[in-house]
């Protein structure tokens, strides 16, 4: 594994491995200034954060900390056993958001206020959880299978990382809260101590990063111990098998992600971190193979993961039902975390491909346009129009067929919030003598290459509405360096144009993978990547039974869907949704800003051109039927 040079600067990154192929760039170095992601960041900052904090108060999950401080628990404690973690994910989101805005006094005050409430609930020895350990509550660590105590702390650690990397030296106290809790975890679960693991992985990834951020090697070691203990069967047997919490087989011997999809991805992310920071090539190689198998055989066309409602788990290979696809939003978030770590480790753009697919078609699907209601699960087939969601009512997690404002298990809203607030950190990387652009959004990048040279770029694009990505060098140090642009796997026929301020413009084919230009760049030099944005049919792997005889429609990185509201006014308005077939001999085409396909009623023969909707925008127009995979005529 390539050892990257440690940087002395604190970068505003969620992930900073000590080795790997690529350096991550912080949100202080990359800014998204327009397009779909800027809009989403804006909505997230304007609406979603307020929305989340409102529900945390209203549901009493913040109040639990006050009751802990007042010594009145367990009386009046509200929420599930993991409700503390939503507060921490929210704090992480706010920490990123403050930094993204370059400071915000009002938000900073809110952040500090919540941190002080959390601080007041911490026990003298560092223990922090509102659900366990007090008289009248179950003892600490007495129910690692379901208690989520370590899981909650993992999210606390990630919040502290976000804070220390965006406001180093801030005196709010969050970092010290995390440090004291982490020290306690090492004391209780360290070598010679309690040898069990948490039933929901997350503490591993939190510990590694906190160790990186604070320069504390014990936390990495503790994370390593947790990772290695998975598969030892220290947790109790489970109705759905120990695979549910990845305690059936060691991480190293795992062949594909399995069991609960969020747990699996958090664990894989933590294991990748451990592998990177301990130089464990064997473990990293195993994780890469697990990723590849999982993506080939256990991942939806949307990037979604998890086939089962019952246990929120991966199915077997090729078990990818479209209806009741679980595809939990948080599985998408955690899948991005895992892929991002492998991308940093190896530099292979396949990982960035999956990140893009998941961002556009899972994470962006969850929140409504206003950012105040969410999908917990992201089905690919809605047979019956859902019930109108009530903006004022908490929902069971995955039952809602329309986006809901909040859930009894409400991990998804703050998980999307922290992802959007820190999204700029997932766009670009550097290595010793180059910069890699992985995701395309209008914005600016100002950073140093691995060798210390400063570069600044501006990106202009309407992607994914249009396929042109224009990268302008704003300033560059002397000497040659390499600028690399990801060519997505679907982008056969892409072209790259190099337009230097001095010299000839040159255009060449850019095959899927990476298009790189190495030269001594001058300010004003431009690279223009033209990605082919014609809509396309995607056919399923013949081993996926559930969607045999169907096609999906994609355009660029976006998956499209047929939604029944778009049948109104067509010759198919009265057709049974289950009888609609797509004529796959007629290419999908663009018409008036919509993507249109030819549909036919298999019974009446009636046909019509019908617009599709971006999957991530479905159910924004009220209850409707929807399907991503559409049966072809004759099927």
Q: Is 310 helix (H, G, I), strand (E, B) or coil?
A: coil
Span near its own copies by CB under 8 A; candidates 51-59, 130-138, 489-497, 539-547: 539-547
Instruction: Give me the residues paired with residue 445 across strands.
Output: 30, 457
* Closer by beta carbon to its own copies, 536 or else 602: 602
Write a three-state SS string for 545-560. Answer: HHHCCEEEEEECCEEE
Span near its own copies by CB under 8 A; candidates 165-173, 216-224, 610-618, 627-635: 627-635
> Tell me, what DSSP letter sits at residue 598?
E
* Smallest distance from its own copies to CB 413, Å: 18
Contact 463, 359 (CB under 8 A): no
Angle formed at CA 275 by CA 271 and CA 281, multiple of 5 degrees: 130
The rounded distance, in Å, linking the Cα atoms of 439 and 36 is 12
* Smallest distance from its own copies to CB 136, Å: 19
Phi, psi of 436 (to 5 degrees): -115, 130
Burial of 433 per CB tally in 10 Å (0-12, 13-18, 19+): middle
* Closer by beta carbon to its own copies, 195 or else 545: 545
Tell me the number of residues near its own copies by CB under 8 A. Answer: 37
Residue 233 found at the interface with its own copies (CB under 8 A) = no
Span near its own copies by CB under 8 A; candidates 4-12, 21-29, 474-482, 540-548: 540-548
The rounded distance, in Å, linking the Cα atoms of 494 and 515 is 10
Footprint of its own copies on residues 543-572 (CB under 8 A)? 543, 545-550
* Smallest distance from its own copies to CB 396, Å: 4
- Tokens in use for 200? 């929901």
- Tokens in use for 573? 């308005």
Return the beta strands (E) in 520-592 as ranges.
526-530, 536-538, 550-555, 558-563, 580-582, 589-591
Binding string, 280-319, against its own copies, x = CB under 8 A? ----------------------------xxx----xxxxx
* Smallest distance from its own copies to CB 615, Å: 17
Contacts of 266-269 with CB under 8 Å at 24 or more apart are 266/154, 266/200, 266/201, 266/202, 266/204, 266/205, 266/334, 266/337, 267/201, 267/204, 267/227, 267/230, 268/338, 269/204, 269/205, 269/334, 269/337, 269/338, 269/341
* Smallest distance from its own copies to CB 315, Å: 8
* Smallest distance from its own copies to CB 319, Å: 6
Binding string, 90-129, against its own copies, x = CB under 8 A? ----------------------------------------
Residue 362 found at the interface with its own copies (CB under 8 A) = no
> Tell me, what DSSP letter sits at residue 146?
T
Span near its own copies by CB under 8 A; candidates 54-62, 249-257, 349-357, 395-403: 395-403
Query: Minimal CA–CA distance to 472: which of 521, 426, 432, 533?
Result: 521
* Smallest distance from its own copies to CB 394, Å: 11
* Closer by beta carbon to its own copies, 524 or else 549: 549
* Closer by beta carbon to its own copies, 377 or else 514: 377
Residue 239 found at the interface with its own copies (CB under 8 A) = yes
Span near its own copies by CB under 8 A; candidates 50-58, 203-211, 377-385, 485-493: 377-385
Selected binder of its own copies within 74, 241, 513, 532 (CB under 8 A):
241
Span near its own copies by CB under 8 A; candidates 84-92, 144-152, 287-295, 392-400: 392-400
Write a three-state SS string for 449-483. Answer: CCCCCEEEEEEEECCCCCCEEEEEEEEECCCCEEE
* Smallest distance from its own copies to CB 78, Å: 17
Question: Which are the contacts of 333, defined by CB distance < 8 A and separation ≥ 6?
Answer: 363, 415, 416, 419
Cis peptide before 598 (omega within 30 of 0): no
Footprint of its own copies on residues 583-612 (CB under 8 A)? 602
Q: How many CB atoms lie within 10 A of CB 570?
A: 16
The rounded distance, in Å, linking the Cα atoms of 625 and 384 is 6
* Closer by beta carbon to its own copies, 408 or else 451: 408
Residue 321 found at the interface with its own copies (CB under 8 A) = yes
Q: Is 66 helix (H, G, I), strand (E, B) or coil?
A: helix
* Closer by beta carbon to its own copies, 43 or else 394: 394
Residue 466 found at the interface with its own copies (CB under 8 A) = no
* Closer by beta carbon to its own copies, 145 or else 356: 145
CA 86 to centroid of chain Cα atoms: 16
Write a three-state SS string for 474-521. Answer: EEECCCCEEEEEEECCCCCCCEEEEECCCCCCEEEECCCEEEEEEECC
* Closer by beta carbon to its own copies, 91 or else 256: 256
Span near its own copies by CB under 8 A; candidates 285-293, 379-387, 469-477, 484-492: 379-387
- Exposure string of 109-131, with b = 16+ CB inside 10 Å and e = fewer, is ebbbebbebbbebbeeebbbbbb
> Tell me, what DSSP letter sits at residue 7?
P
* Closer by beta carbon to its own copies, 346 or else 602: 602
* Closer by beta carbon to its own copies, 256 or else 421: 256
* Closer by beta carbon to its own copies, 40 or else 381: 381
Selected binder of its own copies within 131, 180, 381, 555 (CB under 8 A):
381
Selected binder of its own copies within 223, 322, 552, 612 (CB under 8 A):
322
Contacts of 78-82 with CB under 8 Å at 24 or more apart are 80/408, 80/409, 81/131, 81/146, 81/147, 81/148, 82/148, 82/151, 82/152, 82/200, 82/409, 82/411
Selected binder of its own copies within 80, 383, 470, 539 (CB under 8 A):
383
* Closer by beta carbon to its own copies, 312 or else 558: 312
Binding string, 397-426, against its own copies, x = CB under 8 A? x-x--------x------------------
The rounded distance, in Å, linking the Cα atoms of 159 and 163 is 6
Span near its own copies by CB under 8 A; candidates 57-65, 194-202, 235-243, 587-595: 235-243
Selected binder of its own copies within 240, 249, 432, 513 (CB under 8 A):
240
Write a three-state SS string for 329-362. Answer: HHHHHHHHHHHHHHHHHHCCHHHHHHHHHHHHHH
* Smallest distance from its own copies to CB 177, Å: 34
* Closer by beta carbon to its own copies, 243 or else 447: 243
Secondary structure element (H or E) that encloses residue 306, with its range: none
Binding site for its own copies (CB under 8 A): 239-241, 308-310, 315-319, 321-324, 381, 383-384, 396-397, 399, 408, 542-543, 545-550, 576, 578-579, 602, 629, 631, 635
């Amino acid at each position: 594994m390539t050892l990257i040079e440690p940087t002395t600067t604190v970068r505003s990154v969620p992930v900073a491995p000590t080795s790997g192929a690529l350096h991550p760039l912080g949100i202080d170095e990359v800014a998204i200034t327009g397009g779909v992601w800027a809009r989403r960041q804006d909505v997230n900052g304007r609406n979603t954060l307020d929305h989340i904090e409102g529900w945390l108060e209203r549901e009493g999950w913040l109040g639990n900390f006050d009751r802990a401080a007042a010594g009145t628990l367990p009386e009046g404690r509200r929420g599930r056993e993991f409700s503390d973690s939503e507060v921490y994910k929210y704090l992480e989101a706010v920490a990123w958001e403050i930094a993204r805005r370059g400071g915000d006094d009002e938000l900073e005050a809110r952040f500090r206020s919540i941190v002080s409430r959390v601080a007041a609930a911490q026990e003298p020895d560092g223990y922090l959880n509102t659900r366990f350990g007090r008289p009248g509550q179950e003892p600490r660590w007495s129910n690692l299978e379901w208690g989520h105590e370590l899981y909650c702390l993992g999210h606390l650690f990630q919040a502290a990382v976000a804070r220390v990397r965006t406001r180093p030296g801030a005196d709010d106290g969050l970092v010290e809260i995390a440090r004291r809790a982490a020290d306690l975890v090492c004391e209780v679960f360290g070598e010679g101590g309690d040898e069990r693991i948490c039933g929901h992985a997350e503490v591993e990834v939190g510990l590694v990063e906190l160790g990186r951020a604070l320069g504390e090697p014990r936390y990495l070691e503790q994370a390593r111990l947790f990772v290695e203990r998975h598969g030892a069967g220290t947790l109790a047997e489970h109705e759905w098998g120990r695979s549910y919490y990845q305690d059936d087989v060691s991480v190293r011997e795992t062949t594909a992600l399995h069991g609960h999809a969020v747990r699996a991805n958090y664990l894989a992310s933590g294991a990748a971190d451990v592998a990177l920071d301990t130089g464990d090539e064997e473990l990293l190689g195993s994780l890469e193979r697990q990723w590849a198998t999982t993506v080939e055989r256990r991942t939806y066309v949307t990037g979604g993961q998890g086939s089962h409602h019952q246990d929120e788990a991966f199915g077997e290979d090729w078990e990818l039902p479209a209806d009741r696809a679980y595809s939990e939003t948080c599985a998408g978030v955690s899948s991005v975390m895992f892929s991002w770590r492998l991308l940093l480790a190896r530099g292979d753009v396949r990982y960035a491909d999956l990140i893009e697919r998941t961002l556009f078609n899972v994470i962006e699907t969850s929140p409504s346009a206003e950012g105040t209601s969410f999908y917990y699960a992201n089905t690919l087939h809605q047979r019956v129009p859902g019930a109108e969601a009530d903006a004022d009512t908490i929902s069971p997690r995955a039952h809602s067929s329309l986006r809901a404002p909040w859930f009894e298990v409400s991990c998804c809203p703050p998980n999307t919030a922290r992802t959007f607030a820190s999204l700029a950190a997932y766009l670009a990387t550097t290595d010793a003598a180059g910069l890699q652009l992985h995701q395309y959004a209008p914005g600016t990048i100002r950073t140093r290459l691995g060798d210390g040279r400063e570069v600044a770029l501006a990106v202009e694009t309407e992607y994914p509405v249009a396929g042109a990505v224009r990268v302008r060098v704003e300033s560059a140090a002397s000497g040659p360096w390499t600028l690399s642009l990801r060519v997505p796997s679907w982008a056969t026929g892409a072209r790259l144009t190099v337009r230097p301020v001095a010299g000839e413009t040159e255009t060449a084919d850019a095959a899927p993978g990476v298009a790189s230009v190495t030269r001594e760049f001058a300010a004003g030099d431009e690279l223009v990547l033209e990605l082919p944005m014609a809509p396309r049919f995607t056919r399923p792997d013949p081993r996926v039974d559930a969607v045999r005889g169907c096609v999906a429609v994609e355009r660029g990185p976006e998956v499209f869907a047929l939604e029944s509201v778009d049948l109104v006014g067509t010759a198919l308005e009265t057709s049974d949704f289950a009888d609609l077939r797509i004529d796959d001999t007629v290419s999908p085409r663009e018409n008036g800003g919509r993507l249109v396909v030819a549909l036919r009623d298999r019974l009446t023969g009636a046909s019509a051109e019908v617009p599709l909707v971006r999957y991530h925008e479905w159910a924004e127009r009220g209850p409707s039927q929807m399907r991503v995979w559409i049966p072809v005529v004759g099927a």
